[in-house]
Amino acid sequence: MTPENFSSSSIWVARVKTYFKLMDVNGDGFLSLSDYEEIANRLIELQGNSSDPEAIRTLFYNLFQNMIAGGASVDANTKITEEEAVANAAKAVSVLQSAPEVGRQKNEVFFDIIDTNNSGEISREEYRKYIAVYSGGDQPERADQAFDSIDTDGNGSITREEFVDGHMGYWFTHPDDQNHNPLPYGPLVDA
């Protein structure tokens, strides 16, 4: 699909706006490198000694640069508006459709970060901590709704496959032909 196909869907736009609001750590209405650095640092803290801090920081730098800033050079002064983030994400997703393994690999890394006890599944509590990393505080209702939308077999844990498929579905599916699930970041904001 083209970027226009994605950005013409009010539900897909609401997905990006939901992500935008969650990632706007300082609440200034822009996404910046400092927002992504803060979230990376929170994830490193969540991981404790088992994390590779530089790999996590690099992951978030690349997410900001390639998904949100449209591949442009970024620095401490780069600020991306919500409208720019929607347009850039639509372009990035359109390009990544021809290389879905890149998106799958990124989500595999996130799965491993969230699965803090290395059980091979994400528990409800681990997912709550993951959402809290983004939101800056405990939001059990949001986290539980997100968890339930990804736990497709309803067994109370998220497998690697459910996690990757849920996140890939959120970004790469045009929602006109399906319900609004999955919602890995919780309920959608109004578009």
The predicted-structure confidence for 54-64, as pLDDT tens digits, reads as follows 989 999 999 99
Q: Cα 151–157–161 angle (5° rounding)?
A: 60
- Level-2 CATH architecture, domain 3-177: Orthogonal Bundle (1.10)
How far is 132 from 138, CA to CA, in rounded Å? 5
Residues near 45 by beta carbon (within 8 Å), at least 6 away in sequence: none
CB 185 within 8 A of CB 18: yes
For residue 180, pLDDT beyond 70: no
State residue 191's pLDDT score.
Answer: 57
| Whole-number percent of the chain with pLDDT over 70 | 95
Confidence band for 174, pLDDT divided at 50, 70 and 90:
confident
The mean of the pLDDT values for the chain is 90
89 sits in which H/E element: helix 82-96
The per-residue pLDDT for 148 is: 95
Q: Is the dihedral of CA 110, 95, 54, 33 positive or negative?
A: negative
- Mean pLDDT for 5-30 is 94
pLDDT of residue 12: 93
Better pLDDT: 48 or 123: 123
Backbone angles phi, psi at 133, to 5 degrees: -60, -45
Reported as a single tens digit per residue, the pLDDT across 133-153 is 988 888 999 999 999 999 999
State the pLDDT at residue 59: 92
Q: What does the pLDDT look like over 90-101, one tens digit per residue? A: 999 999 888 888
154 has pLDDT over 60: yes
For the chain, the distance separating the N- and C-terminal CA atoms, rounded to the nearest angstrom, is 21
